[in-house]
Chains A and B, each alone.
Chain A
């Protein structure tokens, strides 16, 4: 589905991402964990072309998308749920969701996605007319994911969905992600919350200061002693 080869990204002189190569197959949920500032968000932003890559290439279903523009990438079905949710605070929840399906033309597809999003996050349904800015952090995160679903995503990029959420809310969000995984949506999950991410993901990449240090099946990595020491609080 998605192949990234020796990606390098520089902010002025600082090298944020250095020679990163990642592969995501259809239907997989791949996690990417690492400390803050390891370059996780930068990689996502490069995929959806918010920022330009210094060198390296990105392929989606075999097609080179390194040079294509943000809206072409969204049209291909790569939907990015950004860090800090970035919902439209001055517009209603319904309008936020409608915007998620901005590029979708046929009515039935939109309604279908709408039903799917509502079934996943029922609380959104009662408050469709409410201004999005008034939602709590967790609710806004759900709206952001719901909005992403409206764009009938083939590949979902999630940037730290659990950030700033209560444990209960984080659990609800991860349950929703599991649900989506069952429905066969491929996902790239960027998280600081290493344990939960590794629990629900098939494979995991570990990023340190812009470089991939380890990668492999989540099940094996979760047992690995030094991963435990570094990321899982050394239980």
Chain B
């Protein structure tokens, strides 16, 4: 039953899924790295981005790249409002408080989406050139998968360069290391946080496009579970470190797919449970994740 080719095709499925998790996980890590804030609403901002694309393509028939641009802008706006209204007043409150606030924002966005667009699951089609299929033996890849896979690494390199060599990148690292000291260096914390949310929410919109492109349907509640899994990937890889998020994303995607593919069929439905069991195990062995720096918290 387990021919090499079967194993290979499951592995490729894992990489496909992993690249989507990695995209979302980078968005999580951007915000968490600086603010120690878990943005539960990150998954739902992704859904907002996808719905914008859908509305613009179906209602106004705009070409895809314009809709993607607008969807990034709208997702960023949603992210910034959430930061301004729900997170900024709680900046020096404990981690749990901002966690709860992000939970409330997530519930708020989901219900607003359900009211504006009906709860119906709706078809979502990418233009032909994006969903063309290439087959290598049993392995099948569509252009959107390849684009996702490549863009994860492109974004990782771009962001890492930005963090390492630009002014805003240094300011971000300073905030992440010690927020009070950063203030005394004359760094405007709010601008740094806003930039982090712009990048995070923008990435969420992109990953939303790729997730919907892969599964061809969208619904208002689609963002929450992938968001949670992407967060586990970010924690697995070492939250706060971008390369950790990408690594965690791929490990989680491949592990989940191999589990679903190789294990006997009775326990395939334990797939989600397995993902979180894996997370708990890794956190036991290496509390800060695989690549995580010893996270002294805010000294």
Q: Please tell me whether chains A and B touch each other in their complex, using a CB distance cut-off of 8 A.
A: yes
Residues of chain A having any CB pair with chain B under 8 Å: 48, 50, 69-71, 74-75, 79-80, 82, 86-91, 95, 98-100, 102-103, 147, 151
With A and B bound together, what is the CA distance between A103 and B167 in angstroms? 10
**29 CB-based A-B contacts, threshold 8 Å:** A48-B183, A69-B188, A71-B183, A71-B186, A71-B187, A74-B186, A75-B186, A82-B181, A82-B184, A86-B180, A86-B184, A86-B299, A87-B181, A88-B178, A89-B177, A89-B296, A90-B173, A90-B177, A90-B293, A91-B173, A91-B174, A95-B170, A95-B173, A98-B170, A99-B187, A102-B170, A102-B186, A102-B187, A147-B185
- Flag B94-111 by CB within 8 Å of A: 1 or 0 each: 000000000000000000
Task: Name which residue of chain B comes closest to A100, CB basis.
Answer: B185
With A and B bound together, what is the CA distance between A71 and B192 in angstroms? 12
Given known A95-B170, A102-B167, contact A88–B181 (CB-CB < 8 A): yes
CB distance from A211 to the nearest CB of B (A): 27
Task: Name which residue of chain A comes closest to B295, CB basis.
Answer: A90
Residue of B170, B183, B184, B296 with most chain A CB atoms under a 10 A cut-off: B184
Do A86 and B181 have beta carbons less than 8 Å apart? yes
Other 18 A-B pairs with CB < 8 A, given A86-B180, A88-B178, A98-B170: A48-B183, A50-B180, A69-B188, A70-B183, A82-B180, A82-B181, A86-B181, A87-B178, A87-B181, A89-B299, A90-B173, A91-B174, A95-B170, A95-B173, A99-B174, A100-B185, A102-B171, A103-B185
CB-defined contacts of B178 to chain A, threshold 8 Å: 86-89
CB distance from B33 to the nearest CB of A (A): 11
CB-defined contacts of A100 to chain B, threshold 8 Å: 185
With A and B bound together, what is the CA distance between A151 and B171 in angstroms? 15
A-B pairs with the 6 shortest C-beta distances?
A74-B186, A86-B181, A103-B186, A88-B177, A71-B188, A71-B186
CB-defined contacts of A69 to chain B, threshold 8 Å: 188
Residue of B181, B182, B187, B188 with most chain A CB atoms under a 10 A cut-off: B181
Residues of chain B having any CB pair with chain A under 8 Å: 167, 170-171, 173-174, 177-178, 180-188, 293, 296, 299
With A and B bound together, what is the CA distance between A87 and B171 in angstroms? 14
Q: Which of A74, A75, A98 is in CB contact (< 8 Å) with B184?
A: A74
Do A151 and B177 have beta carbons less than 8 Å apart? no
CB-defined contacts of B170 to chain A, threshold 8 Å: 95, 98-99, 102
With A and B bound together, what is the CA distance between A80 and B177 in angstroms? 18
CB-defined contacts of A147 to chain B, threshold 8 Å: 185
CB-defined contacts of B171 to chain A, threshold 8 Å: 102
CB-defined contacts of B181 to chain A, threshold 8 Å: 82, 86-88
CB-defined contacts of A86 to chain B, threshold 8 Å: 178, 180-181, 184, 299
With A and B bound together, what is the CA distance between A98 and B170 in angstroms? 9
Task: Name which residue of chain B comes closest to A49, CB basis.
Answer: B183
With A and B bound together, what is the CA distance between A146 and B82 in angstroms? 39
With A and B bound together, what is the CA distance between A98 and B181 in angstroms? 13
Do B293 and A151 have beta carbons less than 8 Å apart? no
Task: Name which residue of chain A comes closest to B186, CB basis.
Answer: A74
Residue of A80, A87, A89, A90 with most chain B CB atoms under a 10 A cut-off: A90
Task: Name which residue of chain A comes closest to B187, CB basis.
Answer: A102
Given known A88-B177, A89-B178, contact A102–B296 (CB-CB < 8 A): no
With A and B bound together, what is the CA distance between A6 and B182 in angstroms? 29
CB distance from B85 to the nearest CB of A (A): 20
Residue of B173, B178, B185, B188 with most chain A CB atoms under a 10 A cut-off: B185
CB distance from A195 to the nearest CB of B (A): 28
With A and B bound together, what is the CA distance between A87 and B299 in angstroms? 9
Given known A86-B178, A88-B174, contact A99–B185 (CB-CB < 8 A): yes
Given known A89-B296, A95-B170, contact A80–B187 (CB-CB < 8 A): no
CB distance from A152 to the nearest CB of B (A): 12
With A and B bound together, what is the CA distance between A100 and B182 in angstroms? 9
With A and B bound together, what is the CA distance between A91 and B293 in angstroms? 12
